[in-house]
Chains A and B, each alone.
Chain A
């Protein structure tokens, strides 16, 4: 379809910025290309259906192919994971809402201008494959082992990072927790002889 023109006998077409909106009756008209939700929010207009949406996350613009993406998908666009970061909807009038990772966001919501991310204070770490909540920052090995009811006297804490296999951590040094860390435990079995 030729955009930005009026076809003979066809529907009225108007072009606004980057989006091309087929002006139809009601709110279920479909644009022929991706539309920028930020621009619609600034104009206070209803966001129409479209094959794709341009969405700002932390100031970067991404193409989203569904009007109802999950929070985790949007976080992933900026290389972040829900075990360490939260996604926050930003509206034109200053209202902000946290979006849970499994929550579906309606990109057509009036006034939604985009998203920002924030580092969580209580993050998720993984120990022996299971998720556990813990405060971000320096934590002791004992605190981490305590999540699985183990102690440094009985168990070694191993950390898996950078795609490398689990390596033992010194029990007397703090472990910097950012979120999403992967730990394993192994019974203590060695000592100087």
Chain B
């Protein structure tokens, strides 16, 4: 599977990693939905770190579509709350 970290690049991961990535992501979402900033940076960092550690960086001239797109690494807790719950990044 291909995973993109927005603003950073694309990674190729084994399809078997899908569940683990899902878990890590759900942990981030739970924190954002709880509305408490504590632990957000760690949880989001863990998700990004996992993709970087277990993925193989795609070459720049590789043209692939990503299955998963993770927000940029400098996403703040406030942005996560505002952009990824409720109204969303782009108003519908």
Determine if chain A interacts with chain B: no
Interface positions of A (Cβ within 8 A of B): none
